[in-house]
Amino acid sequence: MSDILILLSHPEYARSRANRAMAEAAARVPGVEVAHLDGLYPDGRLDADAEVARLIAARRVVLQFPVQWYSTPPLLKAWQDAVLSRMFYVHPDTEGARIAGRPLMVAATAGNTPAAYSAEGVNLFPLPELLKPLRSTAHRCGLAWREPFLVYEARGASDEALASAGERYADRLRAFAEEG
């Protein structure tokens, strides 16, 4: 059983600097498993049995991704549709109930500035507001929502800033692992 399962989805991970820095820092934290969905399923065909087993085996779950058009990348959405629908609609008593109360955290990167995610900014809403569908999903599945870990200006950040973000992420994961 992994202490923390990070479900990472990034369709262009090879070019990612921010999510890669975060994933590499996270992988150094004891008890963390990073499952890169796009690497595991390059053809987009998920193994629902394996993903359900992976989720059931985790004590805590993190969804890590770059925000794309105010949502998750396509493969993470497909994962939600396949795995969560199966666990909570098809087999709620034998699968979904097994993860009731598990903590869920989102770790998301955004290419723009925090000011762009405001009522006056180009995105109109704060990033945590844009993540509300995921919070609602967590609630519907009986998962305990935790405050998201957010990184802004991911595309233009310096290597030093991304290394710092990775270390802050690793610190947050250590604290997440210690939560009651």
Comparing C-alpha atoms, which of 44, 91, 83 is closest to residue 61? 83
User: Quick check: 50 and 86 in contact, CB under 8 A?
Assistant: no
Scanning the structure block, which residue is given the tokens 């699968």? 95
DSSP state at residue 87: I
The pLDDT tens digits of the residues spanning 66-110 come to: 999 999 999 999 999 999 999 999 999 999 999 999 999 999 999
Give the three-class secondary structure for 154. Answer: coil
Q: What is the largest CA-CA distance in the chain?
A: 47
Cα dihedral 10→13→16→22 (10° resolution): 70
Per-residue pLDDT, 1:
57
**pTM tops 0.85:** yes
User: CATH second-level architecture of 4-178?
Assistant: 3-Layer(aba) Sandwich (3.40)
